[in-house]
């Protein structure tokens, strides 16, 4: 019993660690900056995702004498750059990037000055922010919770299978149930609200998030179907390793992207979404 409890604690710790890693390395996580001026260090973040019908706020907790300018344009286009001067409100520099349709993107960069001097940000790439529709809580919360349970049960599968404890077979089945509900029921619903499409993976698109979830499901279904074979334990271990690899891939890579010319939502390029383009 004590060993089983320790195994479950280990499964939870590994699962939470992989999910935090995925979140922090994803292309929609805020981009952080650290600067120094007159011997004082400051830090702030620039958004790379925004949901709802409002403009995307950009707020920097920087005191006087900092002044900021945001230079932006639609992404990926060669449209002329536009400029937004940041206002000072309650000790912050504040501006808003104009709202875009779901999956629409803007690329932008910040020009910061203090005391008339340019403050170097140490960044040569534009930031890319992707807009999305508002997702209701009744869809978002179950989706997140079920995907968390999917990862936890998957990690429990590999740990108990490595220990050659037969209960791992039941965990394979539980993982499939959670994955079907979280990734293939609530997942498409969330994506429909956010980007206007239920599914953008194979065979309709190249959305990496959809495709990696599909690949993981196939691996677990095979492990479940052959669980009684002599090699079934190793199939369960392989399926769990695939799930682990899936969560080590940053979330929303190669995701939905609005084609500003046609108005159609397509699948964006991985490097374009993740890196943006060099500051011009």
CA distance 233 to 144: 28
Which sign, positive or negative, has the C-alpha torsion 197, 198, 203, 209? positive
CB atoms within 10 A of CB 232: 19
Contact 151, 21 (CB under 8 A): no
Name which residue leads in pLDDT, 277 or 247.
247
Tell me the pairing of strands 256-258 and 105-114.
unpaired
Q: How confident is the model at residue 142 (pLDDT cuts 50, 70, 90)?
A: very high
Tell me the pairing of strands 127-132 and 117-119.
unpaired
CA distance 187 to 40: 44
- For the chain, give the percent of residues with pLDDT over 90: 65
- What average pLDDT does range 63-71 have in this prediction? 94
Task: Give the model's pLDDT for residue 279.
Answer: 62
Answer yes or no: is pLDDT of 77 > 80: yes
Answer yes or no: is pLDDT of 9 > 60: yes
Task: Give the model's pLDDT for residue 81.
Answer: 97
* DSSP assigned state of 59: E
**Residue position matching structure tokens 């995701």:** 255
CA distance 174 to 3: 20
CA distance 223 to 278: 45
Which pair of tokens denotes residue 252?
Answer: 């929303």
Listed in order, the ranges of the chain carrying CATH 2.60.40.10 are: 31-132
Tell me the pairing of strands 127-132 and 256-258.
unpaired
**Residue position matching structure tokens 């010319």:** 261
State the chain's mean pLDDT as an integer: 88
pLDDT in tens, 197-219: 888 777 776 677 788 889 999 99
- For the chain, give the percent of residues with pLDDT over 70: 89
Task: Give the model's pLDDT for residue 277.
Answer: 58
In which element (H, E) is residue 92 found? strand 92-97
Which pTM does this prediction carry? 0.82
Task: Give the model's pLDDT for residue 274.
Answer: 41
The DSSP secondary structure of 93-125, one letter per residue, reads EEEEEPP--TT-EEEEEEEEEETTEEEP----B
Contact 99, 56 (CB under 8 A): yes
Q: How confident is the model at residue 168 (pLDDT cuts 50, 70, 90)?
A: very high
Answer yes or no: is pLDDT of 123 > 60: yes
Which pair of tokens denotes residue 41?
Answer: 């260090």
C-alpha 199, offset from chain centre: 16
Answer yes or no: is pLDDT of 174 > 70: yes
For 31-132, the fitting CATH number among 1.20.1540.10, 2.60.40.10, 3.30.465.10, 3.20.20.70 is 2.60.40.10
Q: How confident is the model at residue 252 (pLDDT cuts 50, 70, 90)?
A: low
Poorest-pLDDT segment among 37-51, 144-158, 207-221: 207-221
Poorest-pLDDT segment among 37-51, 214-228, 248-262: 248-262
């Amino acid at each position: 019993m004590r060993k089983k409890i320790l195994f479950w604690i280990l499964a939870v710790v590994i699962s939470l660690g992989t999910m935090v890693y995925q979140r922090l390395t994803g292309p929609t996580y805020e981009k952080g900056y650290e600067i120094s001026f007159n011997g004082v260090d400051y830090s702030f973040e620039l958004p790379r995702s925004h949901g709802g019908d409002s403009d995307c706020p950009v707020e920097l907790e920087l005191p006087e004498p900092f002044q900021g300018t945001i230079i932006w344009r639609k992404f990926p286009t060669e449209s002329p750059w536009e400029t937004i001067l940041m206002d000072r409100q309650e000790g912050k520099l504040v501006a808003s990037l104009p709202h875009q349709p779901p999956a629409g993107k803007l690329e932008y960069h910040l020009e910061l000055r203090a005391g008339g001097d340019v403050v170097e940000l140490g960044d040569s790439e534009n930031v890319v922010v992707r807009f999305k529709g508002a997702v209701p809580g009744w869809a978002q919360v179950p989706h997140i919770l079920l995907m968390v349970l999917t990862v936890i049960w998957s990690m429990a599968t590999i740990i108990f299978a490595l220990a050659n404890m037969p209960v791992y077979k039941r965990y394979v089945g539980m993982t499939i149930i959670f994955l079907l509900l979280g990734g293939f029921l609530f997942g498409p619903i969330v994506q429909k609200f956010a980007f206007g499409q239920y599914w953008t993976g194979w065979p309709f698109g190249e959305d990496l998030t959809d495709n990696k979830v599909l690949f993981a499901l196939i691996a677990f279904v095979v492990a479940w179907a052959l669980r009684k074979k002599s090699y079934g334990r190793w199939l369960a271990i392989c399926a769990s390793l695939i799930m682990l690899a899936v969560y080590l891939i940053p979330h929303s890579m190669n995701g939905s992207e609005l084609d500003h010319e046609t108005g159609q939502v397509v699948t964006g390029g991985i490097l374009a979404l993740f890196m943006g383009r060099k500051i011009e």
